[in-house]
Chains A and B, each alone.
Chain A
């Protein structure tokens, strides 16, 4: 970036690159570049939103059932954590523009802490899904789901022992991991697994009977969308750490705040995507 650190003795000033007419033109150009990048980010997530829309339009019952396996409260808390971090980030940009160095350092630190909080809660959620076998593709553990829905009775335990039904928390199926490509046998195995799950649910009646097939489709979409978003949060945290280091060093001031401003734009976009992910994944009605 051409507003690179000016170091000591030039506190709070950005140098203007020779190919810009003025500091403002440089600032506007950098901001335009950032917005162009954010537009490509929206296009990238757009592909995933498209997958979501098509699967949900074709198979609404999968989404309706599978979303109950997510923790709505943790999702709501994470939403608030991310919104709060967006607020502190916007305030940090204001502090940078006004040259409030101590406030800027504090606000960047709070924003970074919110990033850790978000990822912490996210990892609790992921761990829970992993334990219960609510995973993507062939890793989805239908037998464990029966236990989840029916309760810990004998039949549910029997389902755990059934062929193809891995115990919750077990290591990923070695046979699947080792195979380079899906064979017909494997596909048949998956189908048998699905049939086993369906039969158990038929035998049990009540809640279990309403479990739709192919729930793994929802979790594939869930993990890719929240996972890509999580990677963006991690990237944002690295960026915040870099901004924090520069703020402590005293790089920023009333005439050099571009990096904070553009970093803020990125952090807000990550928040913006979560604003749509939360109702679409956790609040299906």
Chain B
């Protein structure tokens, strides 16, 4: 990752045009064992998230389900989507999008929580009648 962060050296670029798709494109194939391992972990976590719904943990069920989904998401993003070896800025983009969505949901839920759910009769299924 460190070499990606370096500023481009202008004197380096002279040979690139002589060799299109030049030597400085260094592919980084992810090892197959790692891909297979991540796939195995994703399947195991899927089984775990289904299994945990059969146990009553009250409000922690949704917390655990989302935590497992987040771990799966991190595995996919870091390994399958190569973020672990990429320029850090790609990760910044992903995290900023997730942060924007979190703010969006969080603030709107705070807002909707301040209103009575039974303002309009018949449109308030949360209230037992």
Binding site for B on A (CB under 8 A): 13-16, 21-25, 27-28, 31-32, 35-36, 38-40, 42-43, 45-47, 49-50, 53-54, 57-62, 72, 76, 79-80, 83-84, 86-87, 89-91, 93-94, 97-98, 191, 194, 212-214, 217, 254-257, 261, 264-265, 268-269, 271-272, 275-276, 278-280, 283-285
Contacts and interface: CB of A to CB of B under 8 A. Distances in A.
B20 to A, nearest CB: 5
B50 A76 contact: yes
B100 A43 contact: yes
Contacts of B8: 21-22, 25
A98 B35 CA distance: 15
A250 B89 CA distance: 32
Contacts of B76: 86, 268, 271-272, 275
Given A86-B80, A285-B62, A14 B21 contact: yes
A36 B39 CA distance: 26
B105 A50 contact: yes
12 contacts: A13-B21, A23-B25, A39-B93, A39-B97, A54-B109, A59-B125, A61-B125, A72-B50, A76-B46, A83-B43, A87-B42, A217-B125
Given A22-B16, A255-B25, A87 B39 contact: yes
Given A36-B93, A278-B69, 12 more contacts: A21-B13, A32-B90, A42-B98, A42-B101, A43-B97, A46-B100, A54-B109, A83-B43, A86-B39, A87-B36, A94-B35, A272-B76
Interface string B70-81: 001100110111
Interface centre among B26, B53, B89 (most CB of A within 10 A): B53
A39 B22 CA distance: 30
Contact of A16 (B21, B46, B108): B21
B125 A62 contact: yes
Contact of B20 (A15, A83, A90): A15
B24 A38 contact: no
Contact of B29 (A38, A94, A256, A276): A94
A49 B105 contact: yes
A58 B112 CA distance: 8
A225 to B, nearest CB: 14
B3 to A, nearest CB: 10
Contact of A23 (B24, B72, B86): B24
B126 A276 contact: no
Contact of B16 (A21, A254, A265): A21
Interface string B27-46: 11110100110110011001
Interface string B5-17: 0001010110011
Contacts of B32: 91, 94
